[in-house]
Amino acid sequence: MRVILLILIGLSTLSLADFTRNGDIVTDNTTRLQWQDDTNASAITKNWQEAIEYCEALSLGGYSDWRLPNLNELKSIVDRSKYDPAIKEGFVNTSSGNYWSSTTGEYDRGYAWIVNFRNGRVNDNGKGSSSYVRCVRDGQ
């Protein structure tokens, strides 16, 4: 029984250490991706092209090499066991709405993939529509 308890404690510690918060940036300790998590990440909505431009112009935490995440990167921070918002531990500035990815729709180039952080679902959205923006950068 004691061994099982120690294993469970160890597993819970690992899951808490998946992400590290440093100011307005959350680092994924597995992929080393660094995520914007300032108040703008839960407040700003833009169309798809504006979202790309916003990330490319972002200066945060002393870094200026931010970009709009692709769909797989954005899905990597979803936690479908949570609801409203469905995002992994460590993120504090998340709206329960659609967030843009840089990935264009497969069948219609006028659409791009989004992730809804209310429930973690993936869908596509017209590029002229407004959605939230969370930028990412490749960490060291």
Q: Residue 9 has what pLDDT?
A: 36
CA atoms within 13 A on the CB side of 116: 9
Digit-by-digit pLDDT tens for the chain (140 residues) are 454 433 333 333 334 479 999 999 999 999 999 999 999 999 999 999 999 999 999 999 999 999 999 999 999 999 999 999 999 999 999 999 999 999 999 999 999 999 999 999 999 999 999 999 999 999 87
DSSP the chain: -HHHHHHHHHHHHHHHTTEEEETTEEEETTT-EEEE-SGGGGT-EE-HHHHHHHHHH--BTTB---BPPPHHHHHTTB-TTS-SS-B-TT-----SSEEEEEEEPSS-TTEEEEEETTT--EEEEETTS-EE---EEE--
pLDDT value for 140: 77
The pLDDT, as a whole number, for residue 126 is 99
Question: Which range marks the domain in which residue 92 is found?
Answer: 2-138
| Total domain count, the chain | 1
Question: Is the separation of the CB atoms in 115 and 133 below 8 Å?
Answer: no
CATH number of the domain bearing residue 52: 3.10.100.10
pLDDT at 56: 99
How far is residue 113's CA from residue 124's CA, in Å, rounded to a whole number?
4
Is the pTM higher than 0.95? The answer reads no
The answer for 41, left when phi > 0, alpha when psi is -120 to 50, beta otherwise, is alpha
What is the reported pLDDT for 5?
A: 39
